[in-house]
Amino acid sequence: MTAAAGPGSEELAQGVLEGRARAIGRAISEVERDSGSVPDILRRLFAQTGRARILGITGPPGAGKSTLVQRLAQAYRRAGHRVGIVAVDPSSPFTGGAILGDRIRMAEIYTDPGVFIRSMATRGTLGGLARATSDAVDVLDAAGFDIILIETVGVGQDEVDIVRAADTTAVVLVPGLGDDIQAIKAGILEIADVFVVNKAEREGADRAVSELSMMLDFAGHPPWRPPIVKTSAPSGSGVPEAVGALEGHGAYLAQSGEGRHRRALRARSRLLALLEDRFRRAVEARAPEPDGLEEAVRAVQERREDPYSAAGRLFDALVRGARGAAAGRPS
């Protein structure tokens, strides 16, 4: 099924801008499978983006993130906001649009027309999933959702890359993690603007809070010290405090200029990823040519040329205009 750019994209974009759920869902499906119409759809939507507040919710499996996300969505709804949710699971091989799963996981908010929920899972490369997440956030933003929650399952580099699309990120942990807090890769702690100790009804919640607090003491005095909030998602206890912590960070972002700085970094890494994608396609397109990749592979395999020299030659052939600027290293 190929979706070419054209009147279809225009209609779809119009539907998204009018906030119609079916158009939003279809646009995210296009984004998810990286169809040819994505650049055209995004081009039509992009001027209407940049208004939503984007929140990342991440943490290890079993931390109760889905229930917490549902509670947060309800809290924002009560405050009069429209809420979009993108749930991303980098480790899952299942395709997106896991509607049944969404329905079960977030039953209480699923029928609320002021909430849009969408799951996305690994398809192809992970870089692709970070791109798809950014694009899906743009779709929801253009559709007029004020609050967009990105939920990821996991604690690896993959999740870090995905929640980078957020303005504010909450890392959700649970009591009893104990020494495992150290085992969580440093990267995920570094992206925390807010810590949520969920399942706080369990034994060890206060200990988890004081361990996190000690860890933060250890990190010195950054301009923003992530607050630590205890929640119990099923009962909803602590959820107003969690919203308060998220919004407190939002105020900090606005006042300090850090928010603008983060969005610039995000635009930069997004552009770089799209550029690299284009470059890969260009290399592949020229691979069979006499000065292309396939001949270079043969040269390397037959030891006629080393990989660095071959890459340099290929690069020069491909990027003629950039030859001077590309001299980042001797070769």
Site residues for a second copy, 306-325, by CB under 8 A, read: 306-312, 314-315, 317-322, 325
Supply the minimum distance, in Å, between the C-beta of residue 20 and a second copy: 21
Binding of a second copy by 297 (CB under 8 A):
yes
Supply the minimum distance, in Å, between the C-beta of residue 85 and a second copy: 22
Supply the minimum distance, in Å, between the C-beta of residue 72 and a second copy: 27
Please name which of 190, 66, 80 lies closest in space to residue 117, comparing C-alpha atoms: 66
Both tokens of residue 51?
């208004």
Site size toward a second copy (CB under 8 A) is 72
Both tokens of residue 178?
């104990």
Report 107-136 residues binding a second copy (CB under 8 A): 126, 134
Among 186, 218, 257, 290, binds a second copy (CB under 8 A): 186
DSSP 271-303: HHHHHHHHHHHHHHHTTTSTTSHHHHHHHHHTT
161 in Cβ contact with 187 (< 8 Å): no
3-state secondary structure string across 2-55: CCCCCHHHHHHHHHHHCCCHHHHHHHHHHHHCCCCCHHHHHHHHHHHCCCCEEE
**Of 94 and 225, which CB lies nearer to a second copy in the complex structure?**
94
Binding of a second copy by 77 (CB under 8 A):
no
Per-residue binding string, a second copy, 192-231, x by CB under 8 A, is: ----------------------------------------
Supply the minimum distance, in Å, between the C-beta of residue 101 and a second copy: 19
Among 78, 185, 202, 225, binds a second copy (CB under 8 A): 185
Cα gap 200→246, rounded to integer Å: 18
Supply the minimum distance, in Å, between the C-beta of residue 158 and a second copy: 9
Please name which of 170, 173, 150, 166 lies closest in space to residue 84, comparing C-alpha atoms: 150
Supply the minimum distance, in Å, between the C-beta of residue 315 and a second copy: 5
Supply the minimum distance, in Å, between the C-beta of residue 94 and a second copy: 13
Q: How many angstroms separate the Cα of 64 from the Cα of each of 109, 112, 147, 193, 327?
A: 16, 21, 20, 18, 50
Please name which of 101, 57, 58 lies closest in space to residue 76, comparing C-alpha atoms: 57
Among 25, 77, 91, 204, binds a second copy (CB under 8 A): 91
Binding of a second copy by 21 (CB under 8 A):
no
Both tokens of residue 100?
């049944």
Strand order in 194-197's β-sheet? 115-121, 83-89, 147-152, 53-58, 168-173, 194-197, 228-230
Binding of a second copy by 81 (CB under 8 A):
no
Q: Is 273 exposed, middle or buried (0-12, 13-18, 19+ CB in 10 A)?
A: middle
**Of 204 and 299, which CB lies nearer to a second copy in the complex structure?**
299
Binding of a second copy by 157 (CB under 8 A):
yes
**Of 220 and 328, which CB lies nearer to a second copy in the complex structure?**
328
**Of 78 and 260, which CB lies nearer to a second copy in the complex structure?**
260
Binding of a second copy by 326 (CB under 8 A):
yes
Overall residue count recorded for the chain in this entry: 331
Map tokens 């040819």 to a residue.
36
Report 30-59 residues binding a second copy (CB under 8 A): 36, 38-40, 42-43, 45-47, 49-50
Please name which of 153, 158, 183 lies closest in space to residue 171, comparing C-alpha atoms: 153
Supply the minimum distance, in Å, between the C-beta of residue 311 and a second copy: 4
